[in-house]
């Protein structure tokens, strides 16, 4: 798949969204430390269920259990903000809430990946990865 190599974060988010759209219980995503960190944030914030790192060496992947409430996917939408061709950086004062607080933004800071709330609390800005609601 050509797009997987161009923007792996967008590929991961779209795999999750598409799997939920057709009612799958789990989705597999090729492993990287960045994707694992993003998946852990999604798990901690309640957007997905349990995550597991599986496989060995080159065949490592992340298994993500998807969450549904009343038959509806928990993730209503995702928007990739910063892309490889156009990076988007925000200062601590430019971080805004997503969907009036019902969603979250994921920001890559000097202290690692954080949600928008954590970054505001820590007083740091960084690269605005994506918004999820």
Is residue 27 located within the same domain as residue 68? yes
d(CA 52, CA 31): 10
Written as tens digits, the pLDDT of the chain (133 aa) is: 554 457 889 999 999 999 999 999 999 999 999 999 999 999 999 999 999 999 888 899 999 999 999 988 999 999 999 988 899 999 989 998 888 878 999 999 999 999 999 999 999 999 999 999 9
Is residue 41 located within the same domain as residue 68? yes
Return the H-helix or E-strand segment holding 62.
Answer: strand 61-66
Helix axes of 8-21 and 33-44: crossing angle, nearest 10 degrees:
40
Q: Which of 73, 95, 121 is the last residue of a domain?
A: 73
Is residue 84 located within the same domain as residue 35? no
d(CA 90, CA 67): 30
Span 31-62, pLDDT tens digits: 999 999 999 999 999 999 999 999 888 899 99
User: What range defines the domain where residue 58 resides?
Assistant: 2-73
Is residue 46 located within the same domain as residue 69? yes
Tell me whether residue 126 is exposed, middle or buried, using C-beta atoms within 10 angstroms of its C-beta: 0 to 12, 13 to 18, 19 or more: buried
Is residue 12 located within the same domain as residue 42? yes
pTM listed for this prediction: 0.87
Is residue 13 located within the same domain as residue 63? yes
């Amino acid at each position: 798949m050509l797009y997987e190599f161009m923007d792996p974060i967008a590929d991961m988010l779209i795999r999750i969204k598409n799997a939920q759209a057709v009612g799958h219980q789990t989705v597999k995503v090729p492993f990287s430390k960045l994707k694992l960190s993003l998946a852990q944030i999604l798990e901690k914030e309640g957007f997905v269920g349990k995550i597991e790192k599986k496989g060995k060496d080159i065949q490592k992947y992340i298994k993500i259990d998807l969450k549904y409430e009343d038959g509806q996917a928990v993730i209503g939408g995702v928007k990739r903000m910063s892309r490889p061709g156009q990076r988007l950086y925000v200062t601590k004062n430019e971080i805004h809430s997503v969907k009036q607080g019902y969603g979250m933004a994921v920001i890559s800071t000097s202290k690692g990946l954080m949600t928008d709330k954590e970054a505001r609390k820590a007083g740091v800005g960084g690269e605005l990865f994506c918004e999820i609601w």
